[in-house]
Amino acid sequence: MVFVMLATTGWTAVHRPDDEVSPRVAALAAWGAARIDGHPVPSADAPARTVARFFAGLDGAQRAQLADGYPLVVGNLDGVPAQTRYRANRRAVLDVRQAEEEHARDYRLAPADRTEAGRRAHRLASLADPDRQILVFDPTGDGRVAEVFGDLDRAERVSVIVPGVDTGLITFERTQRHFTAPQGMAESLYAAQRAAAPDTPTAVIAWAGYTTPTGVGVDAATGRLAMEGAARLESLTAALPGDATVALFCHSYGSVVCGLAAQRLPARVTDVVAAGSPGMRAGNVAGLGTSARVWAVRAEGDWIADVPHLELGGLGHGADPMSAEFGARRLSSAGARSHTAYFEPGTGSLDNFAKIGTDLLSSVACAGGDDSCRGPVR
């Protein structure tokens, strides 16, 4: 019976061993013993301010030495200068791409594993473009990625897109339905911001920097993964360079992440936007515990409107941010027609996002067609 099951399900082929040490784990072990000119490096879980102080004391050659020697660590450390992270992650992407290409040609592996390796290698080939600014790259599991559009060091306003379910290395960008993936969302928002306020230095981060739920199952209905994502989001926003103010654009399950992070976000976060939200794990804006302006938007035809907005025994994410009782500033989404359409060019939602991201708040379009979302809302 066991033999028949193995044969008919294809598991007689060789699969990647489950106990194989991931590149990230191996990199962290090596980092623990690293030295630069005889001095120990900060631990991989050190606060961003500690990391920033350490790297501020290094010269360019020393930073490059660490980036090239420990790319999977340096490229993911909040507090490391952006340019050093870009260098590290470019090296890491090239290294992992080579490994995935080898896996794709390894006929000792199961066909499904070879196909998956080929898909990952294809995506990594795109990420390896030297003009791209990769701020986060961790190939573990489904993968974590973040990309910067614009000059992060010179920006006066930084926008961070926090995506929802089914986001990882392969789905970080898409050729078809380009504006439904984080990379396309950020590209679209950055272009809209440049058009709305060409004299305002801005940067946009497509931040798939946490492990997202797969599908709309139990993980999507609970806050477990969102709590881990919230901690990562707090670290990111606190470690951004300079004194730029920050706006968060939180889509779908990403709004759960933003809701859980809200009370611990730094004061530089001035705006939190929940788009197509299943709830933010709070009963109202006051319950979020943030001084930031809280906005909500829902597209016509967005299926999220039919999701019960409640929380019971850890399942569900609470009140509807679009309800009057929640107290968010409700935005127009004119032209957006689905759950994934908020960043499509020509939509009212994208136009509003660009204005929030560039602090042109007096001209945002409210959901009711009036100016109710522009002033104090509670």
**How much is the pLDDT for 177?**
94
**How much is the pLDDT for 376?**
65
The average pLDDT across 149-171 equals 97
**How much is the pLDDT for 12?**
35
- Specify whether the CB–CB gap between 296 and 321 falls below 8 A: yes
Domains of the chain listed by start with CATH number: 12-119 (no CATH), 142-363 (3.40.50.1820)
The average pLDDT across 66-92 equals 98
| Segment 177-205, tens digit of pLDDT | 999 999 999 999 999 999 999 999 999 99
CA distances from 370 to 250, 294, 346, 365 (A): 24, 18, 20, 8
Please report which confidence band the pLDDT of residue 148 belongs to, taking 50, 70 and 90 as the band edges. very high
- How far is it, in rounded angstroms, from Cα 136 to Cα 2? 43
Instruction: Say which amino acid occupies 153.
Output: D
Name 92's Cβ contacts closer than 8 Å, sequence gap at least 6: 71, 72, 75, 137, 139
Strand order in the sheet with 329-330: 133-138, 144-150, 202-208, 157-162, 245-251, 269-275, 293-297, 329-330
| Segment 290-308, tens digit of pLDDT | 999 999 999 999 999 999 8
**How much is the pLDDT for 216?**
82
**How much is the pLDDT for 311?**
83
The average pLDDT across 232-246 equals 96
- How far is it, in rounded angstroms, from Cα 129 to Cα 54? 29
Residue with tokens 């992060």: 152
* Nearest to 219, CA basis, from 317, 140, 144: 317
pLDDT above 50 for 257:
yes
Element (H, E) at 115: helix 111-127
- How far is it, in rounded angstroms, from Cα 158 to Cα 240? 9
Element (H, E) at 226: helix 224-239
CA distances from 81 to 67, 84, 88, 218 (A): 11, 5, 11, 37
- Specify whether the CB–CB gap between 239 and 264 falls below 8 A: no
Share of the chain above pLDDT 90, in %: 88
Average model confidence (pLDDT) across the chain: 93
